[in-house]
Structure 1
Amino acid sequence: DGAALPLEEIIAFTREAVDFCKSFGVSVEAALGAILGKEDDHVSEADCKTEPEKVQRFVEETGCDMLAVSIGNVHGLEAIPRIDIPLLQRIASVSPVPLVIHGGSGIDADILRSFVNYKVAKVNIASDLRKAFITTVGKAWVNNNNEANLARVMANAKQAVEDDVYS
């Protein structure tokens, strides 16, 4: 992750990764901007957001296949995302590749559905899925702390994650 580096260094770092991955036939998702939350220590949200005027150059010079962008999305469940749809629209209008949203947990369902209109091909929702899994395991323990069938508990937790994905 080179989010704190100058653009030229981010491009060089990403290009090296892209060249390596593509030599094995692997597609590459790169990021431009930084996501606030647990994985980041940025103070100002404005400093983190993806700048539309850098998108086309970044994609063309790195050769990435998808671009993860920062538009007010956050990692984890503690912070409230403030999605900047006009920014996403500007990014989508200049991006030659599909977009990705990291930190999708906690984003309103209507906003998530609208992403399809702005070249978003993937949204990461790991925090929501972890929460569903852990909550189900915790409830199994609270309801019966003598439960010895770990396979059943894990199957129920897996089902909770699937339910969350398809809801």
Structure 2
Amino acid sequence: MYVNTKDILEKASKEYYAVPAFNINNMEFFHAILDGALEKRAPLIIETSEGAIKYAGNGDIFKGARYFVELVRLFADSVDIPIALHLDHGKHFEYIIAAIKAGYSSVMIDASEKPFEENLKETKEIVKIAHAAGVSVEAELGQLAGVEDNVVAAESVLVDPEQAKIFVEETGVDFLAPAIGTSHGAFKFKGEAKLDFERLKKVKELTKIPLVLHGASSVLPEYVAMAEEYGADLGGAKGVPEDQLKKCVELGINKVNTDTDLRIAFIAGLRKFLKENPKEFDPRHYLGAGKKLVKEVVMNRLEFLGAAGKA
């Protein structure tokens, strides 16, 4: 079933669990994620970045957006779990409009690097356009450090809970990503992860809407080790421990973005297969090895975040 992302997240908020949102760039990742969600009987949120849309459309963002909608809807309409398609980190108006026109379930307007009043104004404009088309909207307050696709920030700026309350009331946004100390990419922390749980608790109390955690991959050591055994250079990669993610869910996070974990698992499976099968050149075989590990990561995330069995 192809559904509005808001429907998935409002249920998660009421029942105190989180739904991982998985980024894709191509068909292989989508198949692996879908298979994992079906096996775990879980609701599913698929995400694409602006870069993924441009890539899928071979430079044409409107074709790219339609490609992802048609791919996801083709499979969603034939299964009995709820599936949504979300635009992650929409920073450019034309990409957000392309996603809305194509039929995405939700879009993110990310003006988090701008002053509060400007962020509020831009978000309010996108909410008006998206809601008129039946599309729900995510926004971000505060800023995450790190690098991911078109998102680059040197340092973190944590969310102000009182501003979050005003922001939600004035924009009508459907779900909010508050910055509480995570970061983008595979190298999230120099030392131990330190998330501001009290700040998160306060934001949930004041906004009372589904909340989103960005920069939330765990960077699982077993997949990092496998990738490095077969030639990858990921030294220093460190993510958010699973116990801290569970604590975030207890305090009100309902959508947990996941991208880096999938990429590392995929490259680990791909490198291992190519090393062990030097004569193999069928892409269905070597890409399949990567897909298998992506599915493992997906099922693990669905289980410990509480989404398994919630379809």
TM superposition score normalised by structure 2: 0.51
Q: Secondary structure at 1:11's aligned position in 2?
A: helix
Aligned to 2:170: 61
Answer yes or no: is 1:162 the counterpart of 2:299: no
Distance (whole Å) between structure 2 residues aligned to residue 2 and residue 29 of structure 1? 11
Length, aligned pairs only: 164
Assess if the C-alpha contact under 8 Å between 2:182 and 2:216 holds in 1. Answer: yes
Q: Secondary structure at the match of 1:153?
A: helix
CA-CA distance at 1:92 after TM superposition: 1.5
Partner AA of 2:277 in structure 1: N
| Corresponding residue number in structure 1 for 2:251 | 118
> Per-residue CA shift, 1:14-63, capped at 9, x if unaligned?
011111111110011111111111133334x3xx1111110111011111
Partners of 2:259 and 2:216 lie apart in 1 by 8
8 A Cα contact 1:129 1:164, kept in partner: yes
Corresponding residue for residue 133 of structure 2: 24
Identity, in percent, stands at 35
Distance 1:92 1:139 in 2: 43
* Aligned partners of 1:15 and 1:63 also within 8 Å: yes
Distance 1:33 1:145 in 2: 47
Q: For 2:198 and 2:180, locate their aligned partners in 1 and report how far apart those are by CA, in whole Å.
A: 9
Where structure 1 has 5 or more consecutive residues not aligned to the other structure, the ranges are none
Deviation, structure 1 residue 116: 2.1
Partner residue, 2:48? none
**Runs of 4+ off more than 4 Å:** none
- Contact map agreement 2:144 2:153 (CA 8 A) in 1: no
1:115-164 deviations in whole A, cap 9, x for unaligned?
22222111012011111111111111121222122112222211211101
**Aligned 1:74-89 pairs, distance under 5 A:** 74-80=183-189, 81-89=193-201
Q: Identify the match of residue 152 of structure 1 among 271, 285, 292.
A: 285
Whose strand fraction is larger, Structure 1's or Structure 2's?
A: 2
Query: CA contact under 8 A between 1:34 and 1:40: conserved in structure 2?
Result: no
Segment drifting more, 53-62 vs 82-91: 82-91
> Which of 214, 224, 227 is 1:102 aligned to?
214
For residues 4 and 148 of structure 1, what CA distance do their matches in structure 2 show?
44
Q: Is the 8 A contact 2:182 2:188 kept in 1?
A: no
C-alpha separation between the residues in 2 aligned to 1:41 and 1:65? 25
Tell me which of 118, 121, 125 is aligned to 1:12: 121
